[in-house]
Amino acid sequence: MMSEKPPLPADGQRDEAEPGLGLEQEVTMETARDGWDSKVEYFLAQVGFSVGLGNVWRFPYLCHQNGGGAFILLYVLLMVLVGVPLFFLELAAGQSIRQGSIGVWRHISPKLVGIGYSSCVVCFFVALYYNVIIGWSIFYLGSSFKYRLPWETCPTEGNGTVKECAASSPTEYFWYRKALDITDSIDETGEFNPIITGCLLAAWVIVCLAMYKGIKSTGKVMYFSSVFPYVVLLCFLIRGVTLDGASEGIKFMFYPRLEIWADVQVWRQAATQVFFALGLGFGSVIAYSSYNPRNNNCHRDAFTVSGVNLMTSVLATLVVFAVLGFRAKTIATECVKRNMKAAFEALSSTPFPDLLINASDVENMTLNEYEHWYRTRGQQLNISGYNITACSLEEELKQGVEGTGLAFIAFTEAMTLFPGSPFWSALFFLMLLNLGLSTMFGTMAGILTPLTDTFKTLRNHKFLFTACSCAVGFLIGLMFTQRCGNYFVAMFDDYSATLPLIIVVIFQTFSVAWVYGADRFLEDLKLMLDRPVPVVYKYMWKYVCPVAMLGLLGASLLKMILERPTYIAWNREKASKEDLPYPGWALAVLSMLIVVAFLPVPIGFIHSLLLERLGQSPADAEAGYMPCATTDTDQTPLDTLPPSAGDPSSFSPLLEENQDTHLQNGHIEHFQSSAV
């Protein structure tokens, strides 16, 4: 079956031999491009990449801080208007052009090749610190196999407990002092943490082993790493809703506060979460979809993966706040007992006015009764030697919810209150490990696939390239295993990806909608999918998405300009967290991260212009660059071809028409060859 001719690049240029020049057509038999063994593997890989650690700790935190149910409604709105169209764009581009991010944007226009390289740089930055978080999960997983969890009680020092632990909590002390052994600020580097360094090495070894055969090995790992977290989340949900205080936590979580919609920063946070939840701009979505058969329904995949991502975020939020509700009620109840005991002792030892509450019946006292008493009577008491405090369930729910504090402090503390806490702790951190790895595999695919597609040398030594990439990632990642390494993780997380990725996605959308042409792209998709694509995407890609992304970029830049960047540090003397401004050198580093990630875009543009002036095409300038296979595959299975199909000479009719022949996913793939 003859295939359609591939669409021309956006600038209308084509490498063709002019008649009369005496050039011969050369056809090269290339190695078949890898493909997914099944649709299930592909789907699990896309879901595994998009569903990551952010669904478990960032989304619940944002939902809690920004209006509960109102934030979820805003998130769904932005997911539909911006997230799904952009996700579909990346899926369709990768599947249509069958290349990584570098090849996709080079195919649309050689001047845009820098977009693909920027995606690779950002993926590399993210991989550096993301694997450190996986290393932390490995450390906590190993520490969970003890009868009494090591963060359950404070260690002793002399005749009492360690002062720093007593002033904070056992979980905070274990996290900051035992796991990280953190310094007081980013200026204090300190020596390497040997245990975390070993865990980081283990994380990189796991990633290397899972990636060494490309998607052939990654797809098999996904059966466990993508499915297991859902099993754990369901176990925690069933256990969590049976706990005392779970209903209060869930009710507090989802109570809608629609007034937050008037806050521009809430819109910025919701858009950023949509942006990162789907993995837009990393190139990983493009890389995974490029291994699909040409007739795969990527439009349906866009809705399915986005829907699974949303439902996972909501499920994780239910689990988190059911458990945190239990934790908060337990702590608040203990607070009530402690205060009532102090008040009862004071009343029995010295003459004191009536407390207006039965302090001896603490077991039957509700938190609402205590809060009402404290507001009307308790806070007015001045008892020498006793400190009567407020015991607020809401305040306890707010503690330790942001970022890593949710997983390694608040949630960890809650699990110490579970019967059989080591089992639940091991289950939780095994879930975090799998969530992190599935996302890490996609991030590495965003680096390896575009580069191996572009450079023939790397393609011929894929295992060596994968191993070297992981080794370099580990060596640079040692920066994060210093005692101040957690502060660098926060810096990379906040600044190395956000702005560069937003800029990359803006360029991606502009390239497809305006440079290549939205109408033209929709027509290509119609031929590829054998069905029309709703025309509404044309207006989404041309107007709605660019305006939304430019607004997000402006809001992010404005926030950086108006507010000096800060980080959360642990003060050893005060045994508490504090916000510190980044020093001047750190601001220079984070600025450099943003510039380095974005720099390939203008460099690629200038490089293409210079090559045009010199009379060269960018494809000629890149040694080993393989032209994109952008045409439909022949749907004739290999087993129906005549026996001579294995002989290259049997393809002589195709060769006469100057076409290359490729084996792809058990089918013959043809595409136009370049004139040499």
Binding-site residues for Na(+)? 48, 51, 55, 309, 435
Helix (H) or strand (E) holding 258: none
Kindly write down the DSSP assignment for every residue of 226-262, as one continuous string.
TTHHHHHHHHHHHHHHTSTTHHHHHHHHH---GGGGG
Residue type at position 86: L
The letter for the amino acid at 261 is W
Picking from 246, 229, 228, the residue whose alpha carbon sits closest to that of residue 238 is 246
Burial class from Cβ neighbours inside 10 Å (0-12, 13-18, 19+) for residue 38 reads: exposed
Task: Give the amino acid at 462.
Answer: K
Tell me the Ramachandran region of residue 114: left when phi exceeds 0, alpha when psi lies from -120 to 50, beta otherwise.
Answer: alpha
Closest CA to 617 of 5, 6, 12, 4: 12
Interatomic CA distance for residues 86 and 115, integer angstroms? 15
Whats the size of the chain, residue-wise?
Answer: 676
- Angle (CA) 198-57-144 rounded to 5° is 45
For 660, which DSSP code? E
CB atoms within 10 A of CB 442: 26
- Name the 3-class secondary structure at 562: helix
CB atoms within 10 A of CB 567: 19
CB 617 within 8 A of CB 611: yes
Nearest-CA neighbor of 346 among 391, 354, 365, 379?
A: 354
Q: Which residues are annotated as a binding site?
A: 48, 51, 55, 309, 435
Could you give the CA distance from residue 24 to residue 12 in angstroms, rounded to a whole number?
23
Amino acid symbol at 588: A
CA distance 215 to 651: 29
> Among 224, 142, 199, which residue's Cα sits nearest to residue 434?
224
What does 24-45 look like in DSSP terms, one character per residue? Answer: PP----PPPPP--S-HHHHHHH
